């Protein structure tokens, strides 16, 4: 049986820049993926859940899959 789990990650303000203005990042995403992969999960991708008016992703859901 295949098990699927979703982990929501929200972007955080990390500074200010030119053009679009503020800068956001998804801190800790690599660590989340690394820990899941080390525990037998495979990273399948992500789904944008919320976006800003500029089209940038505000919240995304990471998709993991594991055979049990």
| Secondary structure (DSSP) of 1-59 | -EEEEEEEEE-EEEEE-SSS-EEEE-TTHHHHHHHHHHTT-EEEEEEEEEE-TTS-EEE
Distance between CA atoms of residues 62 and 64, nearest Å: 7
- From the number of C-beta atoms within 10 Å of its C-beta (0-12, 13-18, 19+), residue 68 rates as exposed
Tens of pLDDT along 29-66?
999 999 999 999 999 999 999 998 888 899 999 999 99
Locate the domains of the chain by residue range: 2-67
Residue 20, pLDDT above cutoff 80: no
Q: Confidence class of residue 19 from pLDDT cuts 50, 70 and 90?
A: low
Predicted structure pTM score = 0.84
For residues 1-15, give the mean pLDDT.
93
Tell me, what's the pLDDT at 68? 87
Residue 22, pLDDT above cutoff 80: no
Non-local (6+) Cβ contacts of 21 within 8 A are none
């Amino acid at each position: 049986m295949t098990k699927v789990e979703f982990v929501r990650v929200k972007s955080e303000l990390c500074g200010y820049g030119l053009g679009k203005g503020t800068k956001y990042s998804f801190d800790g995403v690599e660590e989340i993926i690394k820990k899941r992969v080390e525990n037998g999960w495979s990273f399948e991708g992500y789904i944008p859940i919320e976006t800003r008016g500029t089209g940038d992703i505000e919240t995304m859901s990471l998709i993991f899959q594991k055979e049990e």
